């Protein structure tokens, strides 16, 4: 059983009712970590922070000054930063023939530029090594229509994880990415109004079930735990029930 007692974890994207960030915050707190939860609107965070005896700090990952302040304030509040988990995401779903700068830029600001800045400022505040985890997507490996911006941003960060693992390895800071298959969250809820999505996806998944936010949270815990994964870095971990070996539904 993982024991994160004495560790501080910072999780961005920890808002909503059904999200990777919320599930991960609860799981790391249950393992003993002091968890700093973050998202753009602080009022959405305060109930979660109270539930897990954590700290709520608002942050827009697309704003460099706010990302820098997030980690500085987290360290000031708790005395340290050991774990950082980036669950922030923004979906721009449109075919390339309809893309404009206005559609492209917000997703890049969150999923690419923001993620790189998250890496930088998380690492700057880890004085005793640590683990930095980012949530990616199965669609960064398996192409789907209308996902050029979202998937390309995720694929770029997956590669940046490898570079970061090389650069920060001497400081004992590990970087890993979790490539999630389609999971029912606040962001994807429109796809789960009936059984149609399950019926399309499950035949393509070797384990014959959809993933859950708890699957993500357990994998985050594994990567956060130095005893369990202390020799794992620069990895893209597929969490898709095996679908990464096949293809997306037509």
What is the share, in percent, of the chain residues with pLDDT greater than 90?
75
Owning domain of residue 30:
8-245
**Per residue in 19-61, pLDDT tens?**
999 999 999 999 999 999 999 988 889 999 999 999 999 999 9
Gyration radius (Cα) of the chain, Å? 17
| Counted domains in the chain | 1
Q: Is residue 109 part of a domain?
A: yes
Assigned domain for 250 exists: no
**Residue 1 located in a structural domain:** no
Nearest to 20 by CA among 242, 250, 172, 188: 188
Identify the pLDDT of residue 80: 98
Q: Greater confidence, 240 or 119?
A: 119
The model's pTM: 0.95
CATH of the domain at 32: 3.40.50.720
Domain annotation covers residue 114: yes
**Long-range CB contacts (< 8 A, 24+ apart) of 51-54?**
51/26, 52/25, 52/26, 53/29, 54/25, 54/29
pLDDT for residue 206 = 86
Would the pLDDT of 81 be above 90? yes
Question: Does residue 3 sit within a domain?
Answer: no
Residue 125 placed within a domain: yes
- What's the mean pLDDT when you consider all of the chain? 93
Give pLDDT, residue 126.
98
Q: What is the mean pLDDT of residues 75-103?
A: 93
Assign 241 a pLDDT band (cuts: 50, 70, 90): confident
Residue 176 lies in a domain: yes
Q: Phi and psi (nearest 5°) for 178? A: -110, 115
The predicted model gives 176-193 an average pLDDT of 85
In tens, the pLDDT along 205-230 reads: 888 888 899 999 999 999 999 999 99
């Amino acid at each position: 059983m993982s024991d994160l007692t004495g560790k501080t974890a910072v999780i961005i994207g920890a808002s909503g009712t059904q999200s990777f960030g919320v599930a991960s915050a609860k799981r790391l707190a249950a393992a003993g970590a002091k968890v700093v939860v973050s998202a753009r609107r602080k009022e959405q965070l305060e109930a979660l922070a109270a539930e897990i005896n954590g700290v709520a700090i608002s942050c827009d990952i697309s704003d460099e000054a706010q990302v820098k302040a997030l980690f500085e304030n987290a360290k000031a509040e708790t005395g340290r930063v050991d774990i950082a988990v980036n669950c922030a995401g923004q979906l721009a779903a449109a075919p390339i023939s309809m893309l404009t700068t206005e559609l492209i830029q917000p997703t890049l600001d969150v999923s690419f530029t923001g993620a790189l800045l998250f890496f930088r400022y998380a690492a700057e505040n880890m004085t005793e090594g640590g683990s930095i985890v980012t949530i990616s997507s199965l669609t960064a490996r398996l192409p789907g229509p209308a996902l050029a911006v979202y998937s390309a941003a995720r694929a770029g960060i997956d590669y940046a994880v490898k570079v970061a693992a090389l650069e920060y390895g001497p400081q004992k800071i590990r970087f890993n990415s979790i490539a999630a298959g389609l999971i029912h969250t606040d962001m994807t809820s429109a796809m789960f109004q009936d059984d149609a999505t399950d019926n399309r996806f499950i035949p393509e998944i070797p384990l014959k079930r959809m993933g859950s936010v708890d699957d993500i949270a357990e994998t985050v815990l594994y990567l956060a735990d130095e005893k369990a994964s202390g020799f794992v870095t620069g990895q893209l971990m597929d969490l898709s029930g095996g679908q990464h070996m096949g293809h997306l539904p037509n």
